[in-house]
Amino acid sequence: MLLNLIKISIPTAFAFFIALAITPLATHYFYKYKMWKKYSRNLDAHAEEFHTVHNEAEELVTPRVGGIIIWVSALLTTLVFYFASVLFPYPAMEEVNFLSRNQTLIPFFTLLLGSLIGLWDDLIQIYGNGIFARDDASWRKWKAFLVGVVSVFIGMWFFYKLGLTSIHIPFGGEIYLGILVIPFFVIVALATFSGGVIDGIDGLSGGVLASIFGAYSIIALANNQLDLAAFSGVIMGVTLAFLWFNIPPARFYMGETGIMGLTITLATMAFLTDSVLVLPVVAMPLVISSGSVILQMLSKKFRGGKRIFKLAPIHHHFEAIGWSSYKVTMRFWVISVMFAIIGVILAIISR
């Protein structure tokens, strides 16, 4: 067990410190090239409360591509340990290499591909013109479509390459899906991606996602998936380093390049650990944020424009009723840690 913990903790710590090291340089270029949104959401917002809680001046001078630090540091850490094991083929070096075909290869490329698509979206909103640069509803549908396309290929990899044909039911055995595992993964990935709306207050998404990936590192460890546990730990480490600079006042926002890569990777890890039905518990803050938006939209449509919340996602509702952004963020962190612990316990004892 000690060796297993070392295999996970060394890459995690390395990732944390390498992310801290590259952040000042990355931040310099973020500001040098003015990598912030051209258009504020205030231009299209109608709720009075939104203008009250939303800091337009801050948004238009704060870079939105901070997620680059997360995925670049995670991928760099993975490659460093992989090439170290190749160049120095000693047992100790091979032991800390966590890039493997059956556990971490697909999360590795999922993180890379999802993050690059998200970066493309961010750059459109930074340097582009027209409705796409304003992140209008039609562009959001295209983003969901892209996530769906990527998810189809990941689901095919699960089915055809890894032979994944069933999912675990907590306390209830397995349910056979066969080829339906592909569309099921697409649904889970889209649902997880929709939780990315949590990236709306300084420090909020970083703290929540760090808790979630920390939980999946423990779940993978309990499954004896050491490589996956290490990779999830690495993502937790770099996300905590991101959070170091993202707490109020944020030096940058995570942006789509962080949210898209992390959420799709999270869905992938849930399937690889065979704990996909525990994901809503571990990621409860994402569920709450996404659910509040859906409920608000349904209420407006079927109740003559009436709203359930003053603002959606729900973290802005709490700001609108008078909570400070610090209070909202800290309480979401508390909720995230609590549900992460519950999810870990549920995943382990339900086997």
The DSSP string of 103-159 is TTHHHHHHHHHHHHHHHHHHHHHHH--STGGGT-HHHHHHHHHHHHHHHHHHHHIII
pLDDT band at 5 (very low <50, low <70, confident <90, very high): confident
- Cβ-based neighbours of 154, under 8 Å, separated by 6 or more: 106, 110, 185, 189, 264, 268
Give the other-Cβ count within 10 Å of 51's Cβ: 12
Share of the chain above pLDDT 90, in %: 71
Stretch 161-179: mean pLDDT:
92
Tens of pLDDT, residues 188-241: 999 999 988 888 888 999 999 999 999 999 999 999 999 999 999 999 999 999
Percentages helix, strand, coil for the chain, rounded to the nearest 5? 75, 0, 25
The whole-number pLDDT of residue 128 equals: 80
158 alpha-carbon distance from chain centroid: 20
**Residue 275 carries which DSSP code?**
-
Helix, strand, or coil here: 166?
strand
Q: Between 235 and 304, whose confidence is greater? A: 235
pTM of the model: 0.94
Helix, strand, or coil here: 287?
helix
User: In this model, does residue 246 exceed pLDDT 50?
Assistant: yes
Q: Which of 15-24, 131-140, 249-258 has the highest mean pLDDT?
A: 15-24
Distance CA 280, CA 188 (A): 10
Residue 123 and residue 135 in contact, taking contact as beta carbons nearer than 8 Å: no
12 alpha-carbon distance from chain centroid: 17
The whole-number pLDDT of residue 44 equals: 45
- Cβ-based neighbours of 334, under 8 Å, separated by 6 or more: none
